Structure 1
Amino acid sequence: MAISEAPPPTATDEGCPVCLAPVTDEPDCPHCGWTLDGNLVLGRLTPGIRHAFDERLAAARRHLDLTAAARAAGYPGHGVPERLARLESLIRGGPPRPGERNDVLRELERESTPTHGRSGQVLDGVTAEITVRGLRAAVFHQGIEDAEATEWPWTHLLPELPQDEDELLFRLAGGIGDHAITPGTPEPKDLGVAATATVLVSRLPGWTVPERLLARLRRRLPHARTLYLPAPEPQPAPLRHAAGFTVVVCGTGPAPDDVRLVGGCPDGSVTVWRLWRSEPIASRCLHNGLVSCVDLAEDGLSLVTGGKDGAVRLWAFGASGRLRVLTWHDGWVNALRLRSGVVFSLGDDAQVYRSVLGSAVVGGAPLTRVGWAEATALEATADGATVIVGGSDGANLRDGRTGECRDRIGTSHPVTALALGSNDRLLALGCADGVVRVHDTRGGRALVSEHGGHTGAVRHVTFGPDGSLATADSGGTVRVWSANGRDATAVGAHPDMVRGLAFTASGHLLSAGGEGLVRTWPIPRTD
């Protein structure tokens, strides 16, 4: 029997016909397993044999692309079916045949990837971390991450990658698609602090392009320890404001998912952003001197500010644009709160003023005069019925209309920050000794819990939607306490004092430093 013509060569000039990897002398592709050098075929090359070969090649290509699409969509672990459905439009020979998607998802579930420690927990030192955003170098000290980090986005490492987010993730995960774009092997031209990395972390096990980057880093840093850690919940990129911050608040805009970030600056200006958008909504100089405090209205369209010049101003940045003075303090405005159309402000002059928005009366009215040592912190209930003023020896709870003192919570250390929890029931007092004391406002002001661990005065406290508590001290360290009050984690540190700390409605923790850096921190989850 004569030997027939063999099928067309299975390896192309570009490489393996399935994954496009360079061809080696091995009979099978080391990357995808496709047979590159098969046995001779005896007999004629019939249409049936040709069709079977073409079907097998198409199935192998679909499988590789579908695996990449599933990884890019978050499988295994945190898969997003909607994204997978979009990515399936990119696979060669798609859409997948019945059963192929489930087969791929089962294979990914069976994969065994070495992990060390909890998600987000790495060793002290310089860590070079590979994520869906790119390469990131950060410094960890005693488990606390410095807020300042160096990042190289994937589009910077590999300019040939597409700009579309779905397609970019598909290519990173090893997808080829009909355009047959094969990204090169990335490496930053200037590693900077990453050149001293003692730990290499990959959050993308099995992703083709990230694995290439990890391999190059391992060759550059042979003494660094390599860890695979689970992919954390995606965190937005940091926001930077070159002018720096003196105070920052966060609140909901006109739409529930429209989060507003407001920053006061040393030059007296105030800037408003939609969270994680680099271009601000509005910016205006409101004070002669630095902005000392700010609060955002519930509708997210106006705000009130206090400054070094003693003025309390209302700015309708999202509506008429009108700017008006509500009242004046003799000295700095130390704190203010906007609740149910009423602005309470506390100044260096030991006066608490009450200004009603929309009132025909111009200027705020003195609500009460407090002791000089009491004029450091201010909080108010959502309905404005109660105002809480903190100082050197505790906190006084006062009537929001008359200023009359209703109750008192004594402390052995000065109160430097105040925050009310949901339903205004729990009151957190951040103190100068680095301890946060939580009291029940409806249970005889009883002490519920104490949270230590800070090395400086607690400057910010805020409750999360799940009852957790976040705190920041004068040294820039940010800590999170679980709702049960027993579990605490130091999540990060700013090089300067934290100027703002807030939870979004979705549970993300934001912190802003005086240097103008706004970070989102992953919140540790406990069972």
Structure 2
Amino acid sequence: MRGNAIGEGSSATLIEQLVVGLPTGPQHRRRGQLAPPPLGDTAKRPQVSASATKALLSREYEGRAPVVFLEGYGGIGKTTLARQICELPRVAEQFAGGVIWTVVGQSRTGPDLASHLADICEHLSGHRPTTVDPLLVGALLGEILDEGEPVLLVVDDVWTQEQVDAFLVGGARSARLFTARNMGLAPSVAETVEVGQMTEDEARVTASAGLPALDTAVLDSLLRFAKGWPVLLGLINASLRAHVRAGGPPAEVAAWVAQLVASGGPEALDATMPPHMRATVGATVNASLDLLSADERERYFDLAVFDEDAEIPERVLALLWGVTGKLEHAESRRMISLLSSLRLVSERWCDGEPAFAVHDVLRSYLRHQTPEHDLASRNQALVRALRTLLPEGRGDHWWLLPPRETFMLQHLPYHLQAAQAHAELVALACDPRWIASQIRHLGSAVPAVATLSGIDSARAAAIREVLDRDMEILVPEVAASAIAATLASRLAVSPELSDVVARYLDHLPRPLLRPHWPLPDTEPASADGHTGPIGDCAVSPRGDAIATASDDRLVILWDPVTLRVRHVLRGHSERVRACEFSPDGSLLVSASTDGTVRVWRVSDGCPVNVFGERAARALGCAWSRDGRWVAAAAGDGTVTIWDVMTGETYRQMLSPSGNEWDCAFTADGGGLLSVGEDGVLRAWDVARAEVRWSRAMHTGRIRCCAFSPSGELIATAGSDTTVRLSRADGEPVHVLRGHTERVRFCGFSSDGAVLATASEDRTIRLWNTANGQLVRVLRGHTDWVGAAVFLTDGSRLVSCGGDTTLRVWDLAAEAPPQIVRPGRRAAGCCAFSSDGRQILAGHSDGLLRLLDVTTGEVRFEAEGHDGRVLDCSVTPDGNVVTAGGDGELALWDVHTGKPRLRFVRHSGRIWGCEVSADGTRMASAGEDGVVRIHDLRSGAVLNELAHRTGHALGCAFSPDDSLLASVGDDGKLRLWDSHTGQLAATLETGREISLWSCRFSPNGSRLASVGTPATALALWSTADRTVETYIPIGGDRITSCAFSPSGRQIATCGDEGYLGVWDVATGAPLTGIRVAFPLNRCAWSATASGSVLAAAGNGGLYVFAYEEE
């Protein structure tokens, strides 16, 4: 196995691979393993080792791998014992995935602990979580552990319950081995092993290792002095061996060392150490230090400056010793080797170079022996040494430290504080250039927040408030200036920081995006809740909780009476497609297109477990009736069942549909239904993982399936607008017709007498299951309805939808439903007028607004659509064209505020509309797979262009109006002759992707396409119709792209809230900015005052100035 340890102050960039004593065959290779440094000569402790190993390898509790705690005082040998256990052959056999080792330390709490966990996740998987909640990052770590073979996760030096809990989430197949000084941290599932003093035999072996036979009486006196304390015995042994190597007779050396340690005075050291040991440590350390010259002792005391559990690069120490002792690099290397041979330091390896660490007991001794003024002086020397790393004349520009200096980027504030350089520390901590550097190289704003928390000033408090609030969007970016742009945009929200932001912007290189308007997502929301379409909802079995799953990546738990938010469940990184309560209501499962299936505790919203594979979108989920299993249907055709407690994959079935959308367990748990893209209902034998029977039920996709409470009936909801009721063996009973668009959901009442169905026609329909007759139609949603679930007694119904509302219907009354509306007015689209002076925005509630780009003043406003406005365009004469989720397409007169023309509607949502350059025609792209070209004067349809497969999601005219491009979820980019309607070319990237947007460059020579998954932005040559460049973007769905007026740059935006700018010729990232919510459309224009880039998102309409100089 290969790996290294993460210790105090580490970041993912400080981790390098080391060879340790475990097999290195293919079965033991794990990407990015983390393991302890190699052991030196250490005495074996067979008794306590046997107890710990037995607990670790043979014990299970409630179906999960063992959790073992090694408890004992500092310096008692817990870490050494854990390292020895890791090297046992039986450990290699038991844990095929190897050993993962991390050091926590006393100071890691809250966001700092989350950052440390994120370091581990990033190193293991290449993905860094951005949340500052340790439990959520711990859940991701558990997910990563579940992706491979079982591992042994060693968590060294934990101090608090928060630390322990974060490392216990998920990863049920992987064992945990903790070391802790504090008692009472071990959970009930853990076995505790007390690590006490060495036995006499173990102590004798440790003290005399590598030495000839010693006088028994002298050795006994040394053992009585050390009292079985491993760290002291190691120091005694190192001292004895050093003197013997120098030529001293062993008997005389032993007697001399015994006399020396006996004369040592008491030292107030580690507070966790028992009082009788404190004098012993001081005397033992003094015995080792006696082997050093006066200068060498001084250099050892220099190590008191470093933070607890830090792994210090030798380069850094060489810089310090170059100042304090005038040592050359080679002399520093020899000094470190000497200290290591005396067990006064431990040699390590990090970031591809040598490093070292000081045991915390020895560090405590050094600090207590060093007067405060002397400690400050040594820290001042370190700071002077580090200034040599900065460019000449920039001695306080610490943000210019070379990127490899991650250790100092992490620890410099600590050393400035210790050096009593308070004014410099305050100035540095409040400088955005330093904060941005830490974000870029350390992965988050957590270190900056930690420093600011220790500064008592109004400015520091204001900056800390901003960083705390926006922690999740202050992350490393592909374009360095994007971090700066995002940071500046968030700081600018605080009026008291205006001077800080102004100076910062003056220093930043261009190109740069700056807010041209105030950021809409920084304004207080009018209500809590979702900011994106809500695709699913669920009601707990007792009716005491409601859950919702949304495209905004959140799952929310609600009070069913007050409809107030109880808990917001964060962890999914992409759209959440489904959620369902466990049979006892204590847990909730959610499924997301990020490929994960997550289990949450309902009482407090905390994560319990994470399943799934990131490569396959999870689209539906279900509980077995006994609550033991969770199943999920995925976009790669798999249906997988997991054991909820252990996280083990119990069964996985592969459907020939290629895309399964939903699943449901039979009452006895022995069978499972699944439905998918091919319209077939399949019944699986869970034990055999085989199809029992299958039946073609619908034409095209089946989106949902459900069993009646008795298990006698099956309901399926299809894209063919029908709902079908069948017997438990698949025999048809009723076909329910009435919906006019695709049906997304079906669910039974608790007595099975009524079936509720939800459709993209915006209605909920209630059906009598006995005769198949329609009972009632509920109208009110202004977009597709995602789900409609009965409360327990059947008197009320909960629904959710694409209009971002949650509704509760009283079925006994005629009154309107209770409605929870989004707290923000999302913008679905935006477009500039031809002169760039005005910008049009279409909103999720159907509102249209035309605004002055300079002042933000509203020039035109209308209630344009019944539901979301999905795309818009401004005609050359200044009027407005809009397309909506209601299937309507209209031309608006901005002077009267009335529609001038309404065009032939599409069946379903219209995702794209574009006006030709000459203003005579307009194209529309619909979910019905049709692209139309309309006459803007008469409204007549000039051409109807059929995609034939999938939905049409976007369209664009070429600058000369000769071509029309269209894209859809079949991944094809089609070029049409816009006058004849003939298909000119069909372009494919060769990648599995749904295309959401396309745009021609201003001169028509290039065509861009983007989509999901967001693997790349494709730039096509319109001349030879081949891909010129793939620009890797990554992340979730890219929803839109826009060329700059010059055509030299292109912007992209997407679900992750990142607006990026790229060089068209080279594909290089130029700049960008991140906002708090997903972005749906972007547009670029030249104005009198410069270049302006706009983005419509779930937080509202964003307008940025693009500054090139």
TM-score by length of 1: 0.57
Farther off after superposition, 364-373 or 276-285: 364-373
1:305-360, CA deviations, whole angstroms, 9 ceiling, x for partnerless residues? 1112211100020478553202211111121111122011111222222211223x
**2:909 is the counterpart of 1:332:** yes
Farther off after superposition, 230-239 or 409-418: 230-239
- Number of the residue aligned with 2:1000: 420
1:303 is matched with which residue: 880, 883, 890? 880
Please give the secondary structure, in 1, of the residue aligned with 2:503. coil
After TM superposition, list the pairs within 5 Å mapping 1:441-456 onto structure 2.
441-442=1022-1023, 444-456=1024-1036
**2:1068 is the counterpart of 1:487:** yes
Q: 1:455–1:325: structure 2 CA closer, same or farther, 3 Å change rule?
A: same
Q: 1:452–1:491: structure 2 CA closer, same or farther, 3 Å change rule?
A: same
Shift of 1:269: 1.5
- Number of the residue aligned with 2:837: 259
Per residue, is there more helix in 1 or in 2? 2
2:520 aligned partner, one-letter code:
R
- Number of the residue aligned with 1:315: 892
Q: Distance in 2 between matches of 1:147 and 1:289?
A: 35
Q: Distance in 1 between matches of 2:842 and 2:998?
A: 20
After TM superposition, list the pairs within 5 Å mapping 1:125-274 onto structure 2.
125=445, 137=466, 139=470, 140-143=474-477, 144=483, 145=486, 149=490, 151=492, 203-204=502-503, 229-230=507-508, 235-238=515-518, 240=520, 244-252=825-833, 256=835, 259-274=837-852
- Number of the residue aligned with 1:357: 936
Shift of 1:451: 0.5
- Number of the residue aligned with 2:1099: 515
Q: Distance in 2 between matches of 1:365 and 1:484?
A: 37
Q: Distance in 1 between matches of 2:1013 and 2:1084?
A: 24
1:458 aligned partner, one-letter code:
I
Q: What's the % identity of the aligned pairs?
A: 17
Q: 1:230–1:463: structure 2 CA closer, same or farther, 3 Å change rule?
A: closer
Q: Distance in 1 between matches of 2:1099 and 2:858?
A: 18
Q: Distance in 2 between matches of 1:365 and 1:373?
A: 22
1:373 is matched with which residue: 937, 950, 954? 950
Q: Is the 8 A contact 1:491 1:521 kept in 2?
A: no
**2:925 is the counterpart of 1:346:** yes
Q: Is the 8 A contact 1:146 1:494 kept in 2?
A: no
Q: 1:349–1:202: structure 2 CA closer, same or farther, 3 Å change rule?
A: closer
1:204 aligned partner, one-letter code:
R
- Number of the residue aligned with 1:11: none
Q: Is the 8 A contact 2:959 2:1002 kept in 1?
A: no
Q: Is the 8 A contact 1:147 1:495 kept in 2?
A: no
1:347 aligned partner, one-letter code:
G
Q: Is the 8 A contact 1:249 1:296 kept in 2?
A: no
Q: Is the 8 A contact 1:147 1:493 kept in 2?
A: no
Farther off after superposition, 240-249 or 272-281: 240-249
Q: 1:402–1:230: structure 2 CA closer, same or farther, 3 Å change rule?
A: closer
1:130-189, CA deviations, whole angstroms, 9 ceiling, x for partnerless residues? xxxx999464211442797364576xx5xxxxxxxxxxxxxxxxxxxxxxxxxxxxx89x
1:404-441, CA deviations, whole angstroms, 9 ceiling, x for partnerless residues? 11112112222222111121110011132311110110
1:247 aligned partner, one-letter code:
G
Q: Which structure has the larger Rg over C-alpha atoms?
A: 2
Q: Distance in 1 between matches of 2:493 and 2:1004?
A: 43
Gaps of 5+ in 2: 1-392, 402-431, 440-444, 450-461, 478-482, 526-823
Q: 1:395–1:431: structure 2 CA closer, same or farther, 3 Å change rule?
A: same
**2:846 is the counterpart of 1:281:** no
1:11-65, CA deviations, whole angstroms, 9 ceiling, x for partnerless residues? xxxxxxxxxxxxxxxxxxxxxxxxxxxxxxxxxxxxxxxxxxxxxxxxxxxxxxx
Farther off after superposition, 233-242 or 375-384: 233-242
**2:1042 is the counterpart of 1:465:** no
1:106-128, CA deviations, whole angstroms, 9 ceiling, x for partnerless residues? xxxxx999765699865422889
Q: 1:289–1:228: structure 2 CA closer, same or farther, 3 Å change rule?
A: closer
Larger RCO, structure (CA 8 Å, separation 6 or more): 1
2:1056 aligned partner, one-letter code:
G
Q: Is the 8 A contact 2:830 2:1081 kept in 1?
A: yes
Q: Is the 8 A contact 1:245 1:513 kept in 2?
A: yes
Q: Is the 8 A contact 1:264 1:291 kept in 2?
A: yes
Q: Distance in 1 between matches of 2:1008 and 2:1067?
A: 16
Q: Distance in 2 between matches of 1:325 and 1:415?
A: 27
1:501 aligned partner, one-letter code:
C
Shift of 1:274: 0.6
Q: Is the 8 A contact 2:825 2:845 kept in 1?
A: no
Q: 1:231–1:347: structure 2 CA closer, same or farther, 3 Å change rule?
A: closer
Gaps of 5+ in 1: 1-110, 129-133, 158-186, 189-199, 206-226
**2:876 is the counterpart of 1:294:** no
Q: Is the 8 A contact 2:829 2:842 kept in 1?
A: yes
Q: 1:231–1:426: structure 2 CA closer, same or farther, 3 Å change rule?
A: closer
- Number of the residue aligned with 2:1085: 504
Q: Distance in 2 between matches of 1:472 and 1:513?
A: 9
Q: Distance in 1 between matches of 2:438 and 2:490?
A: 16
Q: Is the 8 A contact 1:235 1:522 kept in 2?
A: no
Q: Is the 8 A contact 1:203 1:231 kept in 2?
A: no
1:502 aligned partner, one-letter code:
A
1:329 aligned partner, one-letter code:
H
Q: 1:511–1:113: structure 2 CA closer, same or farther, 3 Å change rule?
A: farther
- Number of the residue aligned with 1:81: none
Q: 1:358–1:486: structure 2 CA closer, same or farther, 3 Å change rule?
A: closer
- Number of the residue aligned with 1:196: none
Please give the secondary structure, in 2, of the residue aligned with 1:289. coil
Q: 1:252–1:291: structure 2 CA closer, same or farther, 3 Å change rule?
A: closer
Please give the secondary structure, in 1, of the residue aligned with 2:904. strand
Q: Distance in 2 between matches of 1:450 and 1:268?
A: 36
Q: 1:270–1:114: structure 2 CA closer, same or farther, 3 Å change rule?
A: farther
Q: Is the 8 A contact 2:1077 2:1098 kept in 1?
A: yes
